[in-house]
Structure 1
Amino acid sequence: MAEWLPLTEVVSRPGLADRPVARVRGAVLGRPAFVAGVQAWRAAFAAVPGERVALYFEDTFVFACALFGAWHAGKHVSLPGDTQAATLARLLPTVDACAGDLPGALLPRPDAPHVPLAPLDPWRTGLAVHTSGSSGEPLSIAKALAQLDAEMHTLQAAFGALLDACGPARVFATVSHQHIYGLLFHALWPLAAGRVLEAERLPYPETMADQLGDGPAVLITSPAHLKRLPDTLDWAAARAGLVAVFSSGGPLSPEAAASSLVLLGRSPIEVFGSSETGGIAWRQRAVHGDRWTALPGIQWRADGDGHLAVQSGHLPDAHWYNTADLVEPDGDGFVLRGRADRIVKIEEKRVSLTAMEQALLAGGDLAEARVIALPGDRPRLAVVGVPTAAGRVRLDQGKRVLNDHLREQLLQVVERVALPRRFRYVDHLPTNAQGKTPLATLQALFRATQPVPDWQLREALKAVARLDVHADLLPFEGHFPGTPLLPGVVQIDWAVDFGRQCFPVPRRFLRLDALKFQRPVLPGMQVDLTLTWRPADRVLGFSYVSEEGTHASGSVVFGADDDA
């Protein structure tokens, strides 16, 4: 087992010249290369005024050099989670210099003379990670080095023996060190424990299957990656090389956990926590099921409503921290029961619904907006909006025009994977007797399986309904991915259902006659459904026609309800 280094002495501790640090493009770099990198970045940061610097790197080794270089230059570090325009607009005015993939980035100074480096002050040294708060305003969460070091000791106490049982392990990751989970597990913990960190992230399952076999190996990943592991790849080498798989960012489904165990040979160790609290608890579904167990040194409690509070060295003080998580005690642990705030996780990315609503209103096309999460196995976001006059102009050009415009606005605050898939536009938000808009009422707007008919004609034997076939209709889901079209069976079902609203159509179906599908009905189309009723023959005729021509036609023959 390698000598343990507190984070305050990762660079300043003398000796240890043979200690490996990282593998970069196939070559293992030792501590001398790391210290040289830190010195080069320290010189660059020391040459600029101000105390706050921002870092954004893809390469974890270069990131670690720049991070410790900034700290040894006396700088406080900000770590943006992405480089989107809205993120940079908030970040850049708050910092004095940038490095990495950020505007005006500094470059290291490898030719600068090295200076003696003293241990870092654990409470004067720190960084800030960025996320979204329940108010919708992004939060900058400060972390003192003492907090980060305490978490290193927690992780080592909980899992160090497992990781070191087969000798020094190499640490691979599919997640970014710009976020607290990747920062702790992929960058800082390997530096403290003397494990080799892989500088490049594993971008694809094929790369994972190829490289994880060169063990012993540790994989730092997330549910978003684990649930997409294909069973068509040969995972035999990975199963032989892996000693542990860590997952965080959201609960791992039982199906994904079971599949990961089969493919990777390890039950993923899930770590539950947040940017604010650090790690709180852990579990392995194959052993613990839904129950989470507190990490070493973490105290927790739940109030009468199930709100979780924690106390640990990962926090800035000894006070209890009230989270937005709801839990139910279960033996010596707890089961998660959801969140009490308006932060949701889409593909393991925290998304503030409030921030999205503010972005929609700021664009000027909506007077009111509600972003909601639709129920289901996989969280999906939807928007209910009241268009302004400007929004109505876009809507008159087609619903897709307004939808796409609003999605472009939202890309300023969320990543593409978190964009809402469904939209509803109303004259006013629905309210209950108390004047409030219940979530269930908004969710009900998205369960439509057919459009609302605009009846152009309703006579005894003939009716014409104008249908706005919007893209959010349930029949379009999965039919077909990338090229949605209205299923023929749905067109028949609509004809029968709308026919029964106009005529005394019997319940007993006999057959279909003269059925023709000539043109596909696509999302966003407006079609006229013409219905005719021949009572003597009990035949309902139908045709779907748009400005493009006839889409489908046919007859539905019914038997008398009193026929045997």
Structure 2
Amino acid sequence: MKNKLKNTKIIEALQNTNEYHVAILEDGSSVSWAQFISHISSYNSVIQQTFGLEGKKKLAIYFEDSYQFLAAFCAVLISGNRLVIPGNNLKGTCENLGELVDGFIGDFPETALSDINLIRSIPISEISAEKSELYIRELSADEPLLSLFTSGSSGEPKLIEKCLRQLEAEISSHELLWGEGIGDSIIVGSVSHQHIYGLLFRVLLPLLSGRTFYSEVLTYPEELHGVLAGFESSVLVSSPTQLSRLTDLIDWTMLHGKIKAVFSSGAPLERFHSLHARDVFGVGITEVLGSTETGGIAYKSENGSDNISWTAFPHIEITQDEAIGAMQLVSPHLPDRGIYQTTDRIEFCEDGKGFVLKGRTDRIVKIEGKRLSLDEMEAVLSRHEFISTCRIITMSESRQIIAVAAVLSSLGKDFFVDNGKFSLNKELTNNLRGNFENVLMPRKWRYIDALPVNSQGKLEHDKIKALFTDSEKPKLPDVIASDIDGDSVNLQIFVPDNIYYFSGHFPGTSILAGVVQLSWVVHYAQEYFGIKVSSKQLDAIKFQSVITPGKNISLDIKFNRDKSNIAFKYYCLEDQSEEISFSSGRIKLDS
């Protein structure tokens, strides 16, 4: 290789002469160091042919496969161009990127691009096993060479510029904290490398430390178990979304001792899920606090104790704005050494060795002239035995009001089914009155099976708001509870009065049309069984009673694999004894 530089650790890593397997691919094959360098060289050649030799172009890269992403990532850097890393490749994202970048590399849909250059992924099968020569342009560790987007969970995604110094400083902290413990483990991930957390932990940490990573993003618990079982020593890079969905139907005990560490970031991990995940994997979950803007700030590890505080990363100084309690930090993960104030309120531990989070400064609102901490109300409500978790927002109608989206506990679900929504609203409102004035009481309530989150596990504010917005009427019922048993699922659903389909089907009367009931069966069959229902052949369909607004209903769905059909039944229990059937039947699947 030419142009040996020492100002960036990523370039030093690419000049490494040690032979090891960079990645393990989905088919089980591995990529040697020589193949990796040759792959970078191939991408570099195409980039220069397509965009010229002068560099400084802004190139968006998106890949489903983490190995392909890393090869293209390195190629863009050494070619002297700039990286723009979007969180997804959706049409709207591509259209917005078209105004920001000079070209695209990777798995972008051509239909979403207009008159702009696209470089497709280069298959590993076309790469020589012989190491190629890399020409590396001069790079600066302090120049912003890449840009990432914030999650957009509370608004439009923002573009954040990063320099290599920031990323490399954080990876050095990871290695200092956990390197010895994880040894030469395989890095496995269930989060995307297109976001800062996955980028650092899943691809750049392995590159800089000489570890092998698994290239596929593992979404489902079954496939995650299968991959982890094949490695004697591994590290899991996960998220609260994934860790909250670990089923007990899988025997996870065979992984105990094999998994050296499990990381979680992107959103808070509920304590119940943290403890359950520790039992599943046999190792405490390490949560990482940070954001696209700040990089990593602090970490904490689940050890079963009641008081687990956050510890700052090495070389990070944390102070507090005493007026509002906001966390302030000076960090090498930031663009400069100035003081950065976050919107997280903190409280330092008495021993001075850590801190706890106390909500956010941007969630203080005024209702009828009264100040209210939405975090405080959420905390009070979540302590009620009927509530598992909740999110509280404000809405502007004729005046500012409070709206609650809540996930019910088992006791809460039983109360809902037995007594209805009105009684549950009243019970929870009365509970809040012990802590808040009447003017602050919630005016709208929605009960759902899970709070809407994105792939990083961050709450999606727009989707929560849409639960209460009549202009965006829901097309699905509220799923209060779900009970999955193999190829069968029982859903407890509530049919709100603002369902989209109540408008227009039966003038003057709100009745749920049969075709809508069938569409719900198809939707939930695909969601819970992971199957594609393209056929609409119906068998033994019966519509026996009408479904009207405000109903609590049971929906049974069974996937009959042998007969290749979906059986369903809508029903409820009247007075806890007499069953009322609304509809039932079977939907045949294409063989």
1:208 aligns with 2:224: yes
Equivalent pair of 1:210/1:237 in contact (CA under 8 Å):
no
Give the 3-state SS of the residue equivalent to 2:22 in structure 1: strand
Deviation of the 1:90 alpha carbon:
2.1
Q: What pairs with 1:215-364 in structure 2 (closer than 5 Å)? A: 215-286=232-303, 289-304=307-322, 305-330=324-349, 331=351, 332-341=353-362
- The alpha-carbon distance between structure 1 residues 385 and 481, as it changes in their structure 2 partners (threshold 3 A), is farther
**Larger Rg: 1 or 2?**
1
Equivalent pair of 1:8/1:120 in contact (CA under 8 Å):
no
- The AA in structure 1 aligned to 2:249 is T
Q: Which residue of 1 aligns with 2:159?
A: 140
- The AA in structure 1 aligned to 2:389 is R
Q: Deviations over 1:281-304 (max 9, x none)?
A: 111132663410111111101111
TM-score w.r.t. structure 1 length? Answer: 0.62
- The AA in structure 2 aligned to 1:378 is T
CA distance in 1, matches of 2:446, 2:185: 53
- The alpha-carbon distance between structure 1 residues 197 and 6, as it changes in their structure 2 partners (threshold 3 A), is farther
Q: Which residue of 2 aligns with 1:151?
A: 170
Deviation of the 1:206 alpha carbon:
1.1
- The AA in structure 1 aligned to 2:277 is S
CA distance in 1, matches of 2:363, 2:43: 39
Q: Deviations over 1:360-416 (max 9, x none)?
A: xxxxxxxxxxxx9994543457785669xxxxxxxxxxxxxxxxxxxxxxxxxxxxx
CA distance in 1, matches of 2:160, 2:205: 20
Q: Which residue of 2 aligns with 1:48?
A: 50
CA distance in 1, matches of 2:547, 2:336: 61
Equivalent pair of 1:40/1:108 in contact (CA under 8 Å):
no
Give the 3-state SS of the residue equivalent to 1:172 in structure 2: strand
1:522 aligns with 2:538: no
Q: Which residue of 2 aligns with 1:90?
A: 96
Give the 3-state SS of the residue equivalent to 1:266 in structure 2: coil
Q: What pairs with 1:398-413 in structure 2 (closer than 5 Å)? A: none
- The alpha-carbon distance between structure 1 residues 482 and 128, as it changes in their structure 2 partners (threshold 3 A), is farther
Deviation of the 1:88 alpha carbon:
2.4
- The alpha-carbon distance between structure 1 residues 475 and 233, as it changes in their structure 2 partners (threshold 3 A), is closer
Q: Which residue of 2 aligns with 1:62?
A: 68
CA distance in 1, matches of 2:194, 2:70: 11
Query: Which of 163, 166, 180 pairs up with 1:161?
Result: 180
Equivalent pair of 1:8/1:121 in contact (CA under 8 Å):
no
1:445 aligns with 2:458: no
Structure 2: stretches of 5+ with no match in the other structure: 1-5, 111-117, 365-373, 383-387, 399-420, 422-435, 448-472, 483-489, 497-543, 552-572, 576-591
- The alpha-carbon distance between structure 1 residues 133 and 300, as it changes in their structure 2 partners (threshold 3 A), is farther
Across the two proteins, how many residue pairs are aligned to each other? 393
More off after superposition, 377-386 vs 242-251? 377-386
Give the 3-state SS of the residue equivalent to 1:142 in structure 2: strand
- The alpha-carbon distance between structure 1 residues 178 and 381, as it changes in their structure 2 partners (threshold 3 A), is farther
CA distance in 2, matches of 1:441, 1:137: 31
Q: Which residue of 2 aligns with 1:30?
A: 32
Q: Which residue of 2 aligns with 1:185?
A: 201
Give the 3-state SS of the residue equivalent to 1:46 in structure 2: helix
More off after superposition, 18-27 vs 53-62? 18-27
- The alpha-carbon distance between structure 1 residues 287 and 277, as it changes in their structure 2 partners (threshold 3 A), is farther
Equivalent pair of 2:219/2:242 in contact (CA under 8 Å):
no
CA distance in 2, matches of 1:195, 1:229: 26
Identity %: 31
Deviation of the 1:478 alpha carbon:
4.5
CA distance in 2, matches of 1:264, 1:552: 43
Q: Which residue of 1 aligns with 2:389?
A: 378
CA distance in 2, matches of 1:520, 1:260: 43
Q: Which residue of 1 aligns with 2:565?
A: none
CA distance in 2, matches of 1:256, 1:552: 35
Give the 3-state SS of the residue equivalent to 1:481 in structure 2: strand
Deviation of the 1:73 alpha carbon:
1.0
- The alpha-carbon distance between structure 1 residues 239 and 439, as it changes in their structure 2 partners (threshold 3 A), is farther
Q: Which residue of 1 aligns with 2:432?
A: none
CA distance in 2, matches of 1:316, 1:107: 32
More off after superposition, 229-238 vs 61-70? 229-238
Give the 3-state SS of the residue equivalent to 1:212 in structure 2: helix
- The alpha-carbon distance between structure 1 residues 70 and 125, as it changes in their structure 2 partners (threshold 3 A), is farther
- The alpha-carbon distance between structure 1 residues 439 and 200, as it changes in their structure 2 partners (threshold 3 A), is farther
Q: Which residue of 2 aligns with 1:102?
A: 108
- The alpha-carbon distance between structure 1 residues 521 and 103, as it changes in their structure 2 partners (threshold 3 A), is closer
Q: Which residue of 1 aligns with 2:491?
A: 481
Q: Which residue of 2 aligns with 1:467?
A: none
- The alpha-carbon distance between structure 1 residues 269 and 5, as it changes in their structure 2 partners (threshold 3 A), is farther
1:75 aligns with 2:81: yes
CA distance in 2, matches of 1:319, 1:20: 40
- The AA in structure 2 aligned to 1:61 is Y
- The alpha-carbon distance between structure 1 residues 61 and 478, as it changes in their structure 2 partners (threshold 3 A), is closer
Structure 1: stretches of 5+ with no match in the other structure: 344-371, 388-421, 423-437, 450-469, 487-517, 526-550, 554-564
Equivalent pair of 1:5/1:193 in contact (CA under 8 Å):
no
Deviation of the 1:445 alpha carbon:
1.8
- The AA in structure 2 aligned to 1:183 is L
Give the 3-state SS of the residue equivalent to 1:58 in structure 2: coil
Q: Which residue of 1 aligns with 2:15?
A: 13
Deviation of the 1:227 alpha carbon:
1.4
Deviation of the 1:270 alpha carbon:
0.7
CA distance in 1, matches of 2:88, 2:95: 12
More off after superposition, 191-200 vs 96-105? 96-105
- The alpha-carbon distance between structure 1 residues 134 and 182, as it changes in their structure 2 partners (threshold 3 A), is closer
Give the 3-state SS of the residue equivalent to 1:323 in structure 2: strand
Give the 3-state SS of the residue equivalent to 2:71 in structure 1: helix
Equivalent pair of 1:44/1:107 in contact (CA under 8 Å):
no
Deviation of the 1:115 alpha carbon:
4.3
- The alpha-carbon distance between structure 1 residues 45 and 382, as it changes in their structure 2 partners (threshold 3 A), is same
- The AA in structure 1 aligned to 2:312 is A
Deviation of the 1:477 alpha carbon:
4.1
TM-score w.r.t. structure 2 length? Answer: 0.60
Equivalent pair of 2:234/2:260 in contact (CA under 8 Å):
yes
CA distance in 2, matches of 1:448, 1:59: 38
CA distance in 2, matches of 1:248, 1:385: 32
Q: Deviations over 1:210-246 (max 9, x none)?
A: 2213121000001111111112211122213101111
- The alpha-carbon distance between structure 1 residues 130 and 441, as it changes in their structure 2 partners (threshold 3 A), is farther
Equivalent pair of 1:485/1:520 in contact (CA under 8 Å):
no
